[in-house]
């Protein structure tokens, strides 16, 4: 346990938490969007993120790998994001079409169990298709490690700031995606349809909204965000394995609950809070307790404030 | 209404956990039933060895490699001995102690199984050992290194062809004190993997350092962890960071994140990190019980044969299982000389194993408690991505 206050360590843990939080926030957005529309806890969402990480990896290796990439850095990373987001978006649509749509009017427990089944299915399929070994983006070697060694490395008033380029990319692109999503939901016709469907699916259908299309679009967007998170994790933490989705999915679920499940700004806030809580628990207490802290947060919120920080209590007509 | 929403989420979380547990239990249960149904009589006509390894799960890359090496030996044997073929029966314990115990029960009730390879992890050995002991089965691990496994309580039943952590821990500490400039009042960090492997090593190394006045910070990671930044941030004062994990890619990532943050502590991996393809950050150190099998000229044909059969990739945890399969099958063959065989006879013959040369580049003979005679650890430094012996 660290007792003496060290401002440099504080900044280090804060940036570590923000990086982790950005990833959790993107996954949590997917949880929250799907919950908002279908009232479904899509436990397969973490595994969609895992698939995104693999897609990014295969784009990278397909274009020469980290040691000899055939594209300059920026287009390479953009392409990795694009293909992973597109691939995961389509995967989300397929999951919705074949696993959840047939159960749309079933009791809520049925799609929940299906979601767990899809999660196991994706995990095992990834192992069968890609093998059990852990793959690495090897950002360390990619374009001579420019993403790791460039960035902000300076000392101000005796406080050391170390924020590598890859972390800046992750945090900034997560924030950009979140802003884009907020604009989409609040300023476009699709967003309006999403909000209407989320508010009352049947009434929305009666108003002429194609609810099926809205749900498909929601799955596509939510899964694309998970795909982006997968590439981010690959770039910043290097490792990709078929088991990476489950734990991250649980943390993102926690983030969604903390922020207020069904609430988009809440998911972002929850993601960053969970990431920062995890980094600070690890940095100031012990790495052994980081999960205790994170899942402790989940329990505390479920017991004391189940609507989360930004969620509003559901009013039910009786 | 707030409490209803909370209840719904709690229910959802509960359902998730219960469903996962039911799925796991159902799988185990059906496997156990299957085992009972196909139980065969022990005989020299259809001898079998069992293998408990984490074929899937977080350590799947290690377990599947271990299985491939054992399978490779069995295939070679069966090709060369058409009148004395041996079956390898595998159980995927997913590096889960509860599953390892289920696997042990499965092999115990299958009388064709005369000896077992594994389990791979110390925690799984501890969970499965009462069952193997009750069934009279010898079980030989190619990777479980916790010291207490060979304290005499499993004498005559449990063996391992790799040195234990009682050798590794002190070797690493001594090297750090004598060659890496660690002295009294210096700081070191021990990062374990939250498993019997890493925590066992940590418990050996910590008092040794503290006895020399070295300040020790201990941290733990999980095998599924992919971000070590928060721990790396705490290494500013450390002279050496020991990574006591079983997954080389985690050590690689840790060392790379150290570089990213500009940390100067030396990274020192335990044998779990020994894999030059996956852990190769220059200036790091790693300890291992044998030379790298893929670099041994004497083992080249065996290694190439393995690559041809299972693809051009292996881990350091694989080849010891080739040797375990070898010594178990040799024991079964010797026991079958008179046409009869029992698990007890196989156990006694395994205890008398004396392989003067193996694919590992070292001889294998067991002490009374099941450890390898004359075992020692080598220290390697990573220079230009290659492992160079330095101690």
Find residues 4-33 of chain B whose CB sits inside 8 Å of chain A: 4-7, 9-10, 12-13, 15-16, 19-20, 23
Residue A237 has its nearest CB partner, among B61, B231, B253, at B253
Pairwise pLDDT comparison (B282 vs A289), residue with the higher score: B282
Please state the rounded mean pLDDT for residues A70-94.
96
Identify the band that residue B20 occupies on the pLDDT scale cut at 50, 70 and 90.
very low
The neighbour count for residue A146, using CB atoms within 10 Å, is 14
Q: Which residues of B touch A257 (CB under 8 A)?
A: 9
B284 inside 8 A of chain A by CB: no
Per-residue confidence (pLDDT) for residue B292, from 0 to 100: 76
Per-residue confidence (pLDDT) for residue B14, from 0 to 100: 53
Chain A residue with Cα closest to B18: A113
Chain B residue with Cα closest to A250: B13
CB contact under 8 A, A12 and B253: no
Please state the rounded mean pLDDT for residues B207-217.
96
CA A300/CA A310 separation, integer angstroms: 15
Per-residue confidence (pLDDT) for residue B146, from 0 to 100: 86
The structure's pTM equals 0.73
Please state the rounded mean pLDDT for residues A17-42.
92
Calculate what percentage of chain B has a pLDDT beyond 90: 62
Please state the rounded mean pLDDT for residues B53-77.
90
3-class SS at A146? helix
Q: How many residues does chain B have?
A: 391
Find residues 307-346 of chain B whose CB sits inside 8 Å of chain A: 313
A247 inside 8 A of chain B by CB: yes
> Which of A259, A266, A287, A312 should be substituted to probe chain B, the one whose Cβ sees the most B Cβ atoms within 10 Å?
A287
Closest Cα of chain B to A19: distance in Å? 10
Pairwise pLDDT comparison (B329 vs A287), residue with the higher score: B329
Query: Is residue B33 pLDDT above 50, yes or no?
Result: no
Among B17-31, B305-319, B367-381, whose mean pLDDT is lowest? B17-31
Number of Cα atoms under 13 Å in the Cβ half of residue B72: 26
Closest Cα of chain A to B1: distance in Å? 6
Rounded to 5 degrees, what are φ and ψ at B200? -60, -45
Please state the rounded mean pLDDT for residues A276-305.
89
Query: Is residue A5 pLDDT above 80, yes or no?
Result: no
Identify the band that residue A317 occupies on the pLDDT scale cut at 50, 70 and 90.
low
The neighbour count for residue B378, using CB atoms within 10 Å, is 18
Query: Is residue A2 pLDDT above 90, yes or no?
Result: no
Among A131-135, B159-163, B265-269, whose mean pLDDT is lowest? A131-135
Closest Cα of chain A to B100: distance in Å? 19
Query: Is residue B39 pLDDT above 70, yes or no?
Result: no
CATH 3.40.50.2300 domain range(s) in chain B? 27-163+296-365, 166-288
Residue B15 has its nearest CB partner, among A2, A109, A233, at A109
Instruction: Specify the CATH architecture of the domain A22-304.
Output: Orthogonal Bundle (1.10)
Please state the rounded mean pLDDT for residues B161-178.
92
Per-residue confidence (pLDDT) for residue B29, from 0 to 100: 43
- For B27-163+296-365, give the CATH class: alpha beta
Per-residue confidence (pLDDT) for residue B376, from 0 to 100: 79
CA B289/CA B316 separation, integer angstroms: 10
Please state the rounded mean pLDDT for residues B175-203.
93
Find residues 155-174 of chain A whose CB sits inside 8 Å of chain B: 162, 164
CB contact under 8 A, B253 and A16: no
Closest Cα of chain A to B50: distance in Å? 22
CB contact under 8 A, B5 and A148: no
B192 inside 8 A of chain A by CB: no
Q: Single out the residue of A235, A233, A221 nearest to residue A74, CA to CA.
A: A235
Q: What is the mean pLDDT of chain A?
A: 90
Please state the rounded mean pLDDT for residues B79-92.
95
- Tell me the pLDDT tens digit for each residue of B289-325: 777 788 888 999 999 999 999 987 787 789 999 999 9
Query: Is residue B271 pLDDT above 70, yes or no?
Result: yes
Q: Do you find a cis peptide bond into A256, omega within 30 degrees of 0?
A: no
Closest Cα of chain A to B130: distance in Å? 29
Please state the rounded mean pLDDT for residues A209-231.
95
CB contact under 8 A, A243 and B58: yes
Please state the rounded mean pLDDT for residues B280-290.
89
Per-residue confidence (pLDDT) for residue B283, from 0 to 100: 95
CB contact under 8 A, A244 and B23: no
Do the strands B354-355 and B364-365 form a parallel or antiparallel pair, or are they unpaired?
antiparallel
Closest Cα of chain A to B230: distance in Å? 5
Calculate what percentage of chain A has a pLDDT beyond 70: 97
CB contact under 8 A, A316 and B4: yes
Closest Cα of chain A to B147: distance in Å? 23
Query: Is residue B21 pLDDT above 60, yes or no?
Result: no
Chain B residue with Cα closest to A298: B10
Identify the band that residue B27 occupies on the pLDDT scale cut at 50, 70 and 90.
very low
Identify the band that residue A208 occupies on the pLDDT scale cut at 50, 70 and 90.
very high
- Tell me the pLDDT tens digit for each residue of B136-155: 999 999 989 888 999 999 99
Domain boundaries, given as residue ranges, for chain A: 22-304
What is the third-level CATH fold of B166-288? Rossmann fold (3.40.50)
| ipTM greater than 0.85 | no
- Tell me the pLDDT tens digit for each residue of B243-267: 998 888 889 989 999 988 889 999 9
Per-residue confidence (pLDDT) for residue A63, from 0 to 100: 95
CA B348/CA B136 separation, integer angstroms: 11
């Amino acid at each position: 346990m660290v007792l003496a206050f060290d401002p440099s360590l504080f900044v280090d843990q804060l940036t570590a938490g923000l990086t982790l939080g950005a990833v959790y926030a993107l996954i949590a957005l997917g949880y929250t969007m799907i919950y908002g529309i279908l009232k479904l806890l899509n436990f397969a969402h973490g595994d969609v993120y895992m698939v995104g990480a693999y897609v990014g990896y295969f784009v990278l290796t397909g274009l020469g790998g980290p040691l000899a990439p055939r594209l300059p850095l920026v287009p390479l990373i953009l392409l990795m994001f694009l293909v992973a987001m597109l691939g995961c978006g389509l995967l989300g649509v397929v999951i919705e079409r074949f696993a959840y749509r047939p159960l749309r009017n079933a009791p809520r427990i049925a799609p929940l169990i299906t979601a767990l089944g899809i999660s196991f299915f994706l995990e095992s399929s990834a192992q069968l298709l890609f093998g059990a070994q852990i793959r690495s983006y090897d950002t360390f070697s990619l374009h001579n490690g420019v993403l790791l060694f460039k960035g902000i490395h300076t000392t101000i008033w005796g406080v050391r700031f170390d924020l590598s380029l890859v972390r800046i990319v992750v945090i900034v692109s997560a924030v950009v995606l979140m802003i884009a999503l907020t604009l989409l939901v609040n300023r476009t016709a699709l967003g309006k349809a999403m909000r209407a469907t989320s508010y009352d699916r049947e009434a929305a259908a009666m108003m002429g909204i194609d609810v099926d299309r809205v749900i498909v679009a929601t799955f596509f967007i939510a899964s694309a965000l998970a795909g982006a998170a997968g590439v981010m994790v690959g770039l910043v933490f290097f490792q990709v394995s078929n088991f990476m989705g489950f734990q991250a999915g649980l943390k993102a679920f926690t983030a969604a609950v903390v922020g207020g499940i069904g609430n988009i700004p809440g998911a972002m806030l929850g993601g960053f809070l969970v990431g920062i809580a995890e980094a600070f628990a690890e940095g100031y207490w012990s790495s052994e307790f980081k999960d205790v802290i994170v899942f402790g947060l989940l329990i505390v919120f479920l017991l004391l404030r189940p609507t989360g920080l930004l969620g509003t209590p559901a009013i039910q007509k009786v | 209404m707030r409490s209803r929403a909370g209840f719904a989420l709690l229910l959802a979380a509960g359902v998730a956990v219960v469903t996962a547990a039911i799925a796991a239990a159902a799988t185990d249960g059906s496997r156990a039933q299957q085992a009972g149904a196909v139980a065969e009589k022990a005989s020299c006509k259809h001898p079998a060895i069992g293998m408990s390894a984490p074929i899937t799960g977080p350590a799947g890359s290690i377990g599947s490699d271990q299985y491939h090496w054992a399978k490779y030996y069995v295939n070679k044997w069966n090709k060369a001995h058409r009148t004395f073929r041996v079956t390898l029966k595998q159980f995927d314990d997913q590096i889960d102690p509860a599953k390892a115990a289920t696997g042990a029960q499965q092999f115990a009730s299958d009388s064709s199984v005369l000896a077992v390879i594994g389990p791979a992890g110390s925690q799984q050995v501890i969970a499965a050992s009462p069952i193997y002991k009750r069934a009279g089965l010898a079980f030989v691990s190619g990777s479980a290194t916790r010291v207490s496994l060979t304290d005499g309580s499993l004498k005559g039943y449990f063996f391992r062809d790799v040195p234990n952590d009682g050798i590794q821990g002190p070797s690493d500490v001594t090297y750090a004190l004598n060659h890496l400039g660690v002295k009294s009042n210096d700081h070191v960090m021990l990062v374990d993997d939250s498993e019997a492997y890493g925590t066992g090593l940590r418990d050996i190394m910590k008092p040794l350092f503290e006895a020399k006045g070295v300040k020790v910070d201990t941290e733990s990671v999980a095998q599924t962890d992919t971000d070590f930044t928060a721990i790396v941030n705490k290494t500013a004062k450390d002279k050496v960071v020991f990574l006591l994990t079983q997954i080389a890619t985690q050590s690689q990532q840790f060392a790379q994140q150290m570089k990213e943050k500009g940390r100067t502590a030396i990274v020192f991996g335990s044998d779990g990190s020994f894999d030059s393809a996956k852990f190769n950050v220059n200036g790091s150190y790693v300890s291992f019980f044998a030379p790298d099998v893929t670099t041994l000229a004497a083992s080249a044909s065996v290694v190439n044969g393995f690559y041809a059969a299972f693809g051009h990739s292996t881990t350091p945890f694989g080849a010891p299982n080739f040797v375990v399969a070898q010594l178990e099958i040799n024991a079964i063959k010797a026991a079958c000389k008179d046409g009869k065989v029992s698990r007890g006879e196989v156990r006694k013959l395994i205890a008398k194993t004396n392989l003067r040369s193996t694919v590992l580049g070292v001889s294998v003979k067991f002490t009374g408690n099941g450890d390898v005679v004359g075992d020692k650890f080598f220290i390697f430094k990573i220079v230009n991505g290659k492992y160079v012996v330095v101690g």
